[in-house]
Amino acid sequence: MQDKSFRVIVIGAGPAGLYLAKALSAANIDYVVLERGPSTFLERGNHLLIFPHTVRLLHQIGLYDEAKKRSYTLRRKIDMTKSGYVLSDYSIWHQLEEKHGYPTMPIQRYDVLQMLHNSFSNRERVIKTEAKAISIKETDQGVEVELEDGTVEIGSVVVGADGVHGMTRKYIEEAMSKTATEATGTPLLDIPTTSQYYSIYAEGTNTKKIPSRIFYETRDTGRAIQLGADNDMLRIVMYKKLPQQMTGPVSYTEDQMEELAKSFFDMAVAPGITLGEIWPDFHKHTARLVNQNEGFAKHWHTGRVVIISDASVCTSSVNGLGVNCGLHSAAALANQLQKAVSSSAGSPSPEALKGAFARYQHIRAGELKAIYNTAYSTMRQMAWDSWKDWFIDRFLKRWIGPDFFVKKYLHPLVCKGQILSYVPFEDVPAPLPWKWNPDVKVSENKNPEPSVVEQAQ
C-alpha cells in the first residue's frame, strides 16, 4: 500500500522522470507523472550509452534482462582522422565490464523509455500524457500544478524532469530571483544554457557490413562523427560547430538536416568508408538535427520544487554520460525523499523537505561538475576547436594512452554510482567495489528484487 499522505508530482516522462517514478513506487510513495506529449516514447531520438553503474540501477529495479535484449555488447573503440587513419584502437568497454561486472550498453532512447513505461502495471493511472504543466503554486501545505486543459494536480512536492528549457527550471529561477530581490533589491540571474555545437542523430541499415561491437570516432577541425554498428543496424551522431553561440530552444527542418549532413560526406566513419557512401542507408523519418545544450543551473530547488537530469545539468552527448547522470540524480533524490518520508510518519515538514533537497544537490553537484567539465573539453578536443585542443587530442592523448583515461577517470566514476538504499537485490560480482550499496540485504526480504518494485505499485 502506498502512503497517500505524501504525493510527488513528476513533470516530464523522460528516462529520469520514469526511473524516479519506479524508485518512488519502491519506496511506497504516491506519485503521478505528467507528460506534455501524446506518448512517453516515439520512434526517434538520441542514441544512448548506458554505463555499468547505470546498468546496475536498471538491474536493481528488475530491468537488466530487458535492457540486454534491446542492446548489444561493445568491445573496442577506434579513434580516427577524417581520412580514416587510425589513431588508437583499444578495448575500453571490455575493461569496464571486466572491472565492474556490468557491460556498457548502447541503446536507443525510445527503447529505454518503452522499457521503463511498460514496467508499470498501473501506467494508465500514474502516467498522464497530453498533460502540459503551465504553472506551479507552492504553499506551506503542498503544491498545485495547473495543466493546460484547466485541471489541477495537487501534491506535496514537484520534481522537474522536463529538460533544460522546461517550465520547472524557469519557475525555480524566477522564484529565487524574486526572493533575492525582496531581500537585497537586486534580482538573482541564473547562468543561461548555451549551444556552441549541433548534431544529427540517425540510425540506418548496415549495407557496407561495418564490423559490429566497435565504437568509431572520427575527428576534424570543427566537426566530428561517432558511429556504432550492431550487425544489420548503424547508429550515428555527427557534431559540428555552430556559426555562432545560441541560447534557447531551436527547431530545424529536414532540409537543414540534409544540408548539414552533406558537409560530413568526405569524413570516414570506419576505415575505408565515408559518410557519403552510407548516408542513403539512414532512415530520414526518424533522424533529427538538434543543438547540443551545455549548462549548469545554480539553483536546483525551492521549498517544494526540485529539478533533476537536464533541467539541472545539461552536457553535450559526446561522452555518452547524459542519461547516466540523470538516472543517478533521480536515485540520489529518491533516497533523500524516502528518508524524509519514512522518518516523519509520511508527512515531512517544509524544513525537512528543504534539507532533503539541499543534501541531494550537495551529493550530486560536485560529481556532475566534474562530468560537465570533462564533456565540455572533450567536445572541443574531438572537434579540434583550437590549436591547443588539436594538440591534446592528436598527440597528447595518444602519448598518455587511453588506458590511463579509463583507469584514472572512468573506473572511479563508475565505482561512485548511486544506488537505491532501500531496495535489496543480488548484485553482479565485480573486482572493484562499489562506493554505495543498499542498506537492506536480500536475505532480509523474502521477495526477489523485481517483486519489491512491482509489489509497491
Question: How many domains would you assign to the chain?
Answer: 1
Q: What is the pLDDT of residues 348-400, one digit of tens each?
A: 999 999 999 999 999 999 889 999 999 999 999 999 999 999 999 999 999 99
Distance CA 13, CA 15 (A): 7
pLDDT of residue 345: 81
Compute how many other C-beta atoms are within 10 angstroms of the C-beta atom of residue 172: 25
Q: How far apart are the first and last CA of the chain?
A: 8
- Reply yes or no on whether the pLDDT at 13 is more than 90: yes
- What residues are annotated to the active site? 226
pLDDT over 80 at 170, yes or no: yes
| CA separation, residue 423 to residues 24, 114, 334 (Å) | 11, 22, 11
C-alpha cell at 190: 541564473
pLDDT of residue 186: 56
CA distances in angstroms from 401 to 70, 83, 373, listed in the order given: 32, 21, 20
Percent of the chain with pLDDT over 90: 77
Give the residue-averaged pLDDT of 77-106.
Answer: 95
- Tell me the C-alpha distance between 85 and 68, whole Å: 33
In a domain, residue 12? The reply is yes
The number of residues in the chain equals 457
Distance between CA atoms of 333 and 363, rounded to whole angstroms? Answer: 9
Residue 333 domain-assigned?
Answer: yes
Instruction: Confirm whether 410 is domain-assigned.
Output: yes
Is the pLDDT at 421 greater than 90? The verdict is yes
| Within a domain: 148 | yes
Residue 180's pLDDT is: 64
Domain presence at residue 135: yes
Per-position DSSP letters for 237-291, written without gaps between them: EEEEEEEEEEES-----HHHHHHHHHTTTTSEEETTEEHHHHGGGB-TTT-EEEE
Rounded mean pLDDT, 180-200:
74
Domain of 327 in residue numbering reads as: 3-65+107-190+294-381+399-456
Specify the pTM.
0.92
All residues at 6 or more sequence positions from 116 whose CB lies less than 8 Å from its CB, including other chains: 15, 18, 19, 22, 63
Q: Coil, strand or helix: which one is 129? A: coil
The per-residue pLDDT for range 306-337, each reduced to its tens digit, is 999 999 999 989 988 899 999 999 999 999 99
Rounded mean pLDDT of 235-253? 93
Is there a domain that residue 204 lies in? no
Take residue 412 and report the three cell numbers written for it.
572511479
Give the pLDDT confidence score for residue 438 in this predicted structure. Answer: 95
The pLDDT tens digits of the residues spanning 105-152 come to 999 888 999 999 999 999 999 999 999 999 999 988 999 999 999 999
| Residue whose C-alpha is closest to residue 208's, from 108, 267, 289, 276 | 276
pLDDT at 59: 97
Domain annotation covers residue 405: yes
Q: How confident is the model at residue 347 (pLDDT cuts 50, 70, 90)?
A: confident
| CA atoms 293, 93, 59, 231: torsion sign | positive
Q: How does residue 184 score in pLDDT terms, banded at 50, 70 and 90?
A: low
Residue 452 has pLDDT above 70, yes or no: no
- Domain assignment present for 274: no
CATH code of the domain containing 39: 3.50.50.60
Rounded Cα gap, residues 224 and 436, in angstroms = 36
Nearest to 237 by CA among 380, 383, 46, 42: 46
**Res 39: pLDDT:** 80
pLDDT tens digits, 271-292: 999 999 999 999 998 899 999 9
